[in-house]
Amino acid sequence: MSNINSAQAEAPRASWVPMIGLFLAQILMSYNVSALPVSLGGMVDTFGVPPTDVSTAIVTYGLVVAALVMVGAKIGQRVGWVIVFRIVVALFAVSAVLMIVAQSVGFVILAQALAGASAAIIVPSLVALIAENYRGDQQATAIGSLGSARAVAGVSAFLIGGTLATLVGWRQVFIVVLILAVAVFILSFKLRSAPGNSAVKIDLVAAVLIGLGIVSLTLGVNNLNNWGLLVARPDAPFEILGLSPAPVLILVGLVLVQLFFLWTRRRTRAGKTPLVSLSVFKSSRERAAVYAMFIVVALEAALNFTIPLYIQIVQGRTPFDTSLAMLPFNLTVFFTAMLVVRFYRRFSPRTIGMFSFSLTTIALIWLAFVVTNNWETLPTILGLFVFGVGQGALVTLVFNVLVTASPKELAGDVGSVRGTTQNLASAVGTAVAGALLVGILSLNIASSLIDHPELSPQLVSQVDLDRTNFVSNPQLKDMLEQTDATPAEVDAAVAVNEEARLRALKLGLLILSGISVIAIVPASRLPKFKPGEIPESVATGGSPDPNTDRVAA
């Protein structure tokens, strides 16, 4: 250990200027994703579509990243990380321009698909370029900063984006994305990297299997509500013996992912280069870190979709109100992500992980009981604060466990696994939140109609109350004005709407808390060792060598 520390102390320290570009690249991607919920209300008004249609853009971004990130890692290794990094940052700028000039929600979805394809290479490049540009303690600090960068982006998106969307318009929110992309492109000329390796082969079979698997999984989950949980609904594009295509797509996706792992193992045994090295999560510790990362990012995405939905659509308030309501959460995530590394010397990843998931569980249960239609109440702010502490600690922790457990030559693979996990989780979390809340809302309204006989079946059919989505009271009243509803029926319909929305929120939060408590199980499989005791051989799944230590982030 002393020899390693002395070697690190003697190593010349590199300039932090290149890291500024990588830090801003992480902010670029995270800001783009966080800006979409802030702009939710503005897009709904501009394009005249339901909020779930706008959430499709969020899902599309995460889906494309998750489907292509493993291929992106190999492209970076083959072409050269710096060259391909500059190209995709420029493409990200193009996606920002598309957002600014979008004429329909289709433009928004296209722009986010392009941004996702760009991020599929940016994500693994961050880890690989850090490995190329920094050593020792500097490398550890640089890796840790990526977690805090996501939190910085969340805070800035809700503050800057919320202010712009309220005072100017939602399109101006994405001018910030364009500025960030230009800044990252300029700073990329400070990066150094080894030239590309033309000997690197891209396993096209594995790329197709994992890509189609992730697309199938995400489309299935995202359309459970529209196409039907089991029996096909009228909105389903097709049906299979009366079954909804949504669960079928989920099943197909799971099969394709399993085929990807079987194919990759077979290719590895044959001595050929796999699309991603499975040794990244060969041991139970790395698998636990991947599971924990998936769950915490999915929970974060679900909460980031739920809060703007209720504030902007249900309450009909401004994006700036959304930013104020989310500020305690995002600030807490930011500071926790930076400060949690101070506890790595005193507590093991397993202890921190289990404690953090306990916090997120308690926070979600608390929110389910205290939340009302006013997110700024003190009990609600307290719940968001506690959830932010747990979430901020977990995102930084599990990323560090993955990175520090793998040798440098697997940096690109670690980055691709991280990108696939985080973006698939973000897409699934957003899709599940939308499907879950709308599904619960539909059931609540259906049961409430029984308790309000003054709402005639004729009126229900006129406003299509049995096929619901989230609407504000003024929007509902506008719809009822187009019918022959009496004042008493209007008041009853508004009351049903208010009660059903709040019950949907509370039950949705309780279900999320159940997912959070289940996550304590994979967290209990995180490593017991503390930083400074992480062996180089962890990625191989072998037993730790007590005589070989490594300083981690």
List all residues 6 or more positions away from 488 whose beta carbon is below 8 Å from its beta carbon.
Answer: 454
Tokens of 302: 């679900």
CB of 530 within 8 A of CB of 345?
yes
Burial class (CB in 10 A: 0-12, 13-18, 19+), 479: middle
Tokens of 425: 């989780």
Q: Which of 105, 69, 108, 66 is nearest to 88 (CA)?
A: 69
Q: Evaluate if residue 490 carries a pLDDT over 50.
A: yes
Identify which has the larger pLDDT, 449 or 124. Answer: 124
**219-234 tens-digit pLDDT:** 888 787 778 778 887 7
**Model pLDDT, residue 92:** 96
Give dist(CA 240, CA 232) in Å, integer.
8
**358-375 tens-digit pLDDT:** 999 999 999 888 877 665
**Model pLDDT, residue 535:** 32
Provide the whole-model pTM.
Answer: 0.72
Backbone torsion region of residue 117, taken as left when φ is above 0, otherwise alpha when ψ lies between -120 and 50, otherwise beta: alpha
Give dist(CA 108, CA 98) in Å, integer.
7
Q: Evaluate if residue 335 carries a pLDDT over 50.
A: yes
DSSP H or E run through 141: helix 136-156
DSSP state of 372: -
**406-422 tens-digit pLDDT:** 666 666 677 778 777 87
**Model pLDDT, residue 3:** 45
> What mean pLDDT is predicted for residues 257-283?
85
φ, ψ of residue 231 to 5 degrees: the values are -85, 135
**Model pLDDT, residue 7:** 44
**Model pLDDT, residue 450:** 67
First to last CA, the chain: 15
Identify which has the larger pLDDT, 550 or 201. Answer: 201
Q: Evaluate if residue 495 carries a pLDDT over 50.
A: yes
Q: Evaluate if residue 542 carries a pLDDT over 50.
A: no
Task: Name the residue with tokens 């802030």.
Answer: 38
Name the least confident of 88-92, 185-189, 442-446. 442-446
**151-182 tens-digit pLDDT:** 677 777 777 887 888 788 889 989 999 999 99
Distances (CA, A) of 338 to 148, 149, 294: 6, 9, 20
Give dist(CA 33, CA 300) in Å, integer.
12
**Model pLDDT, residue 6:** 45
Give dist(CA 418, CA 125) in Å, integer.
11
Identify which has the larger pLDDT, 430 or 119. Answer: 119
CB of 302 within 8 A of CB of 55?
no
Name the least confident of 235-244, 336-345, 348-357. 336-345
**22-68 tens-digit pLDDT:** 999 999 998 898 888 778 778 888 888 877 777 788 778 878 888 88
Cβ atoms within 10 Å of 247's Cβ, excluding its own: 17
φ, ψ of residue 427 to 5 degrees: the values are -65, -45
**68-122 tens-digit pLDDT:** 888 888 888 888 889 999 999 999 999 999 999 999 888 999 999 999 999 989 9
Tokens of 231: 């029996």
Average pLDDT across the chain, whole number: 79
Q: How confident is the model at residue 549 (pLDDT cuts 50, 70, 90)?
A: very low
**Model pLDDT, residue 472:** 66
**Model pLDDT, residue 171:** 92
Task: Name the residue with tokens 């991607």.
Answer: 29
φ, ψ of residue 243 to 5 degrees: the values are -80, 150
What DSSP string describes 257-283?
HHHHHHHHHHHHHTTPPPSS-GGGG-S
Q: Evaluate if residue 276 carries a pLDDT over 70.
A: yes
Q: Any idea of the CA torsion for 506, 510, 515, 518, to the nearest 10 degrees?
A: 170
List all residues 6 or more positions away from 487 whose beta carbon is below 8 Å from its beta carbon.
Answer: none
Q: Which of 108, 317, 70 is nearest to 204 (CA)?
A: 70
**Model pLDDT, residue 79:** 87
Burial class (CB in 10 A: 0-12, 13-18, 19+), 335: middle
Tokens of 459: 């009126």
